[in-house]
Amino acid sequence: MIGLAEHSGRVPYSIASAPIDTAATRRLDFLIRIEPSGRWGHQFDTLDVGAAIGVQGPYGSFTLPPQPEESRFLFIAGGTGIAPIRAMIRQALVVGPKRPMRLLYSAKTAEDFAYLPELGAMASRDGLELRLHVTRESPGAGRVGLAQLAPLVDAMDTLCFVCGPESMVAEVPRMLLELGIDQGRIRVEEW
């Protein structure tokens, strides 16, 4: 939960930095989309570099397990839902045995992909299989569906993580179940 230091109000945001990065830099990273409508991030739109913010937490259990039994990871992110996914991917690349990792990242437009250069570098350098899905720029694109997920689910011992808009968090786990992934291997971030 973060907010302006001088106010008591806090809103939930996911930490975008991996625990190993935070330990090294003693810094937390957050991805905050500021919308002109004031719906999201409006309390941060006038923040100056070095300004103090208030932080409570962390809370929740949407994290990479320390010793997962699964042999591979599938991450599905929508929009700013990439923040905790990024943290988990960065952590997985440094800690524990290496596992095949796939990321399906969905955004409204090509300009809405956060961390794209970094994710591209992880794909070319570290073997992250990266698939991008744009929902609004091309006719018929739409939301992530079975057509995008099915090619990524080729082993039932895949640990899946889903974070994004409410509709994605509701629909994608049902599709993963339909593709044969056990409920216990599907993790979602919910507010």
CA distance 45 to 23: 27
What is the phi-psi region of residue 13: left when phi exceeds 0, alpha when psi lies from -120 to 50, beta otherwise?
Answer: beta
CA distance 173 to 58: 24
Kindly tell me the burial class for residue 97, based on how many C-beta atoms sit within 10 Å of its own C-beta (0-12, 13-18, 19 or more): exposed
- pLDDT for 151 equals 95
Q: Which domains does the chain have, with CATH numbers?
A: 72-188 (3.40.50.80)
pLDDT 10s digits, 140-188: 678 898 989 999 999 999 999 999 999 999 999 999 999 999 999 999 9
Task: pLDDT band for 139, please (50, 70, 90 cuts).
Answer: low
Q: Which tokens hold the place of 76?
A: 């599905």
pLDDT 10s digits, 19-68: 999 999 999 999 988 766 665 566 777 778 888 888 999 888 999 998 88
pTM of the model: 0.91
Cβ neighbours of residue 19 under 8 Å, at least 6 residues apart?
87, 91
